[in-house]
Chains A and B, each alone.
Chain A
């Protein structure tokens, strides 16, 4: 391959969010006919780069050059016009419109009458699809297509605009093996046409199969780059995680007691199978895995949100049958969901009403709710978690993300659980609140609670957990005890690079 001038370069790009440094001084050059893989852990800054490339975010510092010319993207439209197109993890297209309409959305061919020239549009859509060997009728509604076919429509859409840079953000996440082969054939063809491709994936086999170059991000900084042919899988894993993870989150010394919870063979139809583990008093069990590994789904099955097809749950020696969340709550299991805004908090209600919601019957005196009893509980839990608010009737919508999360945790502590499942408890909250939440998780374990901590952040799980279970594609693939693990081994198990990395 002839090495020519890059189509697009990023130099010295930095981006901050309140309390978070998302990217720091990252440079990147995308050359024609090359596939560049961006690798890194969840939260390393990959998505931020994509959003900067596609004009959704504007960098605080740094320069974007397209074919040597400095550009600034004020909106996604500018990036699109500059020939950059992204194929997203979850396709953002119009299910109820036809394939042709989706391809030409925003730039439909029109005749002199300013009406859409339907025959021309259909023909051109057909031609574009043919170019990538996609057998999809342009008149089909998008909702009739599979995820793989939708990806192809998105690629056709990018080609309709003669995009020179294509960004593929986990394009294979929902594809079968043969669909992945098809997609890779299209990628090879796009390469041969001299386009630059950005490929983001957690799966090392795919990276080694398709990528020419790589850059590796960690905590928003570039920690490595080069030709993929010059590195091994093990080296990449080390690059991704290589940091002293034990400093940040001090582990409390907690006496671990009796077994509280035993889960045996928990399965549902599609997302997870044969999940078995046990949990003891005062223990923090980390549940690590990539996004989509089935961790949240399994815990939601345990909690009765979604039906399970098989599995036995025993709590303190008693077999439970959990058909609804109320059963789990009554038994002493609490689940703090990942999606705070939609699943955790009720933003239009006040702090008191949120805190007492899951354990409401406790505050019923006679027929009616006792305001005094609710207030007493809110006050004590609010103080314990140091929720900062003007008053306890304040609506949750007016609080910061970190304080909302504290209120949601308070709601679950109010049910006096024996087991608490925390699903990504520090996702999207500022650094200060994060430390408070970490400290608090340790405190909960210290009080004898059994904690399941679902997290995608390696330092968090390694800092807090007594034991780590790794899930991959719906199954438990590894278990590590504190002191017997390494960052490389955990990531290796989660990504399936196990043997080489260990």
Chain B
């Protein structure tokens, strides 16, 4: 009989590592938080109108719909997939809302129509990717063309502009009204519906991803899909569900967008898919899979939203804003690599 393996007690292993400030400071969320603080400070100095609760509330209109879709996109990228058809789904769902409104339906039906169309589109993507094993980047480039093309064929160059006023109210007024107390620093800020939904969904997605068994399985499937499958995780089914969720949230975003704009044309939401991917990547979700957090995506949404808003307050043209965002995104991808190189060199 061989000598028994050295007893475990002599190798007491700690449950968790000792926290070191350096590790915490280099966490992506902390870097994003610093970036957010910097954005707010610079904008506050540059424009007196920036730190106004009504202006800030209005600013959220411009990114909340995309941010809602970004939550689903974050999970897809986490499991090494991508959905580039989201903006086209928005267009198709928005058109559906336009026709349903013309037929005289009220807000609940309009939202249901949008979400229903989104779900169908998501299921279509999901079947192609999960059960026919096609690469999602190719599938969703195809469905991007397909869904947008359908919208263009059906809608032509007409616009749908007849919507019930209670539906438009949901998109155009504050869902939570400003309430002041006697104290100047204590008040309930005005919050649009779309931002409120984004906040709620962000909390939900954060809990699911970081606290539940489903979330852990997503991380495993993103890190090593083969080992995940060998561990009994239904990787294909999870992917399918995520595409369906992406469709649902695109439909929801479409309804909110139509309610805000009050009109639907076939070019609605065009180019959104790349804005959404930008939010997710800046949020620290690795395109290689298995790494990311909802908090990171949430902070990235705020950074990008407030940056764009601040620049428009200062009359900086949109093209310049793109230049800035492009540079930021590249820096974001390059900096961790550079830090890593410097680290490995210094430890050698």
Instruction: Give the residues from 373 to 396 in chain A that come closer than 8 angstroms, CB to CB, to chain B.
Output: 375, 379, 382-384, 386-394
Q: Cα distance A436–B219 when bound, in Å? A: 31
Q: Could you say which of B211, B223, B229, B231 contacts A369, with CB atoms under 8 Å apart?
A: B211
Residues 171-183 of chain B: 1 if any A CB is under 8 Å from the residue's CB, otherwise 0? Answer: 0000000000000
Q: Cα distance A486–B104 when bound, in Å? A: 86
Stretch at the interface among A9-17, A163-171, A359-367: A359-367
Does B132 belong to the interface (CB within 8 Å)?
no
Does B17 belong to the interface (CB within 8 Å)?
yes
Q: Cα distance A245–B61 when bound, in Å? A: 75
Stretch at the interface among A30-38, A60-68, A136-144, A337-345: A337-345
Contacts of A74 in B (CB 8 A): none
**In the complex, are the beta carbons of A391 and B16 less than 8 A apart?**
yes
**In the complex, are the beta carbons of A390 and B17 less than 8 A apart?**
yes
Contacts of A342 in B (CB 8 A): 224, 226-227
Q: Cα distance A360–B218 when bound, in Å? A: 12
**In the complex, are the beta carbons of A392 and B16 less than 8 A apart?**
yes
Does A502 belong to the interface (CB within 8 Å)?
no
With contacts A349-B220, A368-B212, A386-B5 known, is A325 near B16, CB below 8 A? no
Does A81 belong to the interface (CB within 8 Å)?
no
Contacts of B11 in A (CB 8 A): 386, 388
**In the complex, are the beta carbons of B13 and A250 less than 8 A apart?**
no
Instruction: Give the residues from 1 to 52 in chain B that come closer than 8 angstroms, CB to CB, to chain A.
Output: 1-2, 4-9, 11, 13-17
With contacts A364-B212, A368-B211 known, is A347 near B17, CB below 8 A? no
Contacts of A214 in B (CB 8 A): none
Closest residue of chain B to A303, judged by CB?
A: B230
**In the complex, are the beta carbons of A360 and B13 less than 8 A apart?**
no
Q: How far is the CB of A369 from chain B (nearest CB, A)?
A: 6
Q: How far is the CB of B296 from chain A (nearest CB, A)?
A: 17
Contacts of A252 in B (CB 8 A): 1
Q: Cα distance A337–B229 when bound, in Å? A: 12
Interface size, A (range) = 35 or more
Q: Could you say which of B207, B211, B231 contacts A358, with CB atoms under 8 Å apart?
A: B231
Does B80 belong to the interface (CB within 8 Å)?
no
Q: Could you say which of B15, B224, B227, B291 contacts A391, with CB atoms under 8 Å apart?
A: B15
**In the complex, are the beta carbons of A439 and B213 less than 8 A apart?**
no
**In the complex, are the beta carbons of B17 and A394 less than 8 A apart?**
yes
With contacts A325-B231, A391-B15 known, is A346 near B224, CB below 8 A? yes
Contacts of A360 in B (CB 8 A): 213, 216-217
Does B108 belong to the interface (CB within 8 Å)?
no
With contacts A343-B227, A357-B216, A369-B216 known, is A384 near B17, CB below 8 A? no
**In the complex, are the beta carbons of A346 and B8 less than 8 A apart?**
no
**In the complex, are the beta carbons of B228 and A346 less than 8 A apart?**
yes
Does B284 belong to the interface (CB within 8 Å)?
no
**In the complex, are the beta carbons of B212 and A326 less than 8 A apart?**
no
**In the complex, are the beta carbons of A348 and B14 less than 8 A apart?**
no
Contacts of B230 in A (CB 8 A): 305, 325, 335, 337, 343-344
Contacts of A383 in B (CB 8 A): 8-9, 13
Q: Cα distance A335–B8 when bound, in Å? A: 25
With contacts A344-B230, A346-B223 known, is A369 near B14, CB below 8 A? no
With contacts A326-B234, A347-B224 known, is A391 near B14, CB below 8 A? yes
Closest residue of chain A to B212, judged by CB?
A: A368
Q: Cα distance A475–B232 when bound, in Å? A: 27
B-to-A contact residues, CB < 8 Å: 1-2, 4-9, 11, 13-17, 207, 211-213, 216-217, 219-220, 223-224, 226-234, 290-291
Would you list the 10 A-B pairs with minimal beta carbon distance, nearest first? A383-B8, A326-B232, A391-B14, A368-B211, A325-B232, A358-B231, A329-B232, A360-B213, A346-B224, A348-B223
- Can you give 25 contacting A-B residue pairs, CB < 8 Å? A250-B1, A252-B1, A326-B233, A342-B226, A343-B230, A344-B227, A346-B220, A353-B216, A356-B216, A360-B213, A360-B217, A364-B212, A364-B213, A367-B212, A368-B211, A368-B212, A382-B13, A383-B8, A386-B8, A387-B13, A390-B17, A391-B14, A392-B16, A411-B231, A438-B2
